[in-house]
Amino acid sequence: MKIVYASGASGMHMPYEFSQIKTPEDFERFKEIWQPDAHGTMHYVGKDNCSIVWEPVDINYVAGNKIRSVYPEYKQLNVLRSGDSVAINKMNTFIDSVRAWANSTNPDPWDGTLDAITA
């Protein structure tokens, strides 16, 4: 993910997997601006005007986690080995739906569309 400021400046890429910003609430806290008074006590003074730009590497990481949360690799292999066409089709449909989300125009992990994909 990349933080982009209203001035047009942007920070360097911060991989989602290593970022401490995992939710919209985390991002709202990140935008808070605090300044010390003469005694060193911190006071909230407002929010920075910035947004997140999701990079493909972050989208793929989030999509991979979504797939593995329902079908970890061992389970994918077990479903394929079972030969059960209904289970295979169900798994493939789920994985294809997540991949389609990841490949869509401007996917946003926080807008609820990824969470709406269920197995």
pLDDT tens, per residue, the chain with 119 residues: 888 887 777 777 778 888 889 999 999 988 888 899 999 999 988 888 888 999 999 999 999 999 999 999 999 999 999 989 999 999 999 999 999 999 999 999 999 999 999 98
Residue 106 phi, psi dihedral angles, 5° rounding? 55, 55
Residue range of the domain that includes 85: 55-119
Number of domains in the chain: 2
Strands 42-47 and 2-5: unpaired
- Residues 61 and 119 occupy one common structural domain: yes
pLDDT at position 4 is 86
Examine the domain organization and report whether 46 and 66 are in the same domain: no
Q: What pLDDT does 101 receive?
A: 98
- Partners of 52 in beta bridges: 3
Same domain, 30 and 44: yes
- pLDDT (0 to 100) of residue 57: 93
Tell me the C-alpha to C-alpha distance, in Å, between residue 7 and each of 2, 11, 48, 49. 14, 12, 11, 9
| pLDDT recorded at residue 64 | 97
Q: What pLDDT, on a 0 to 100 scale, did the predictor assign at position 56?
A: 94
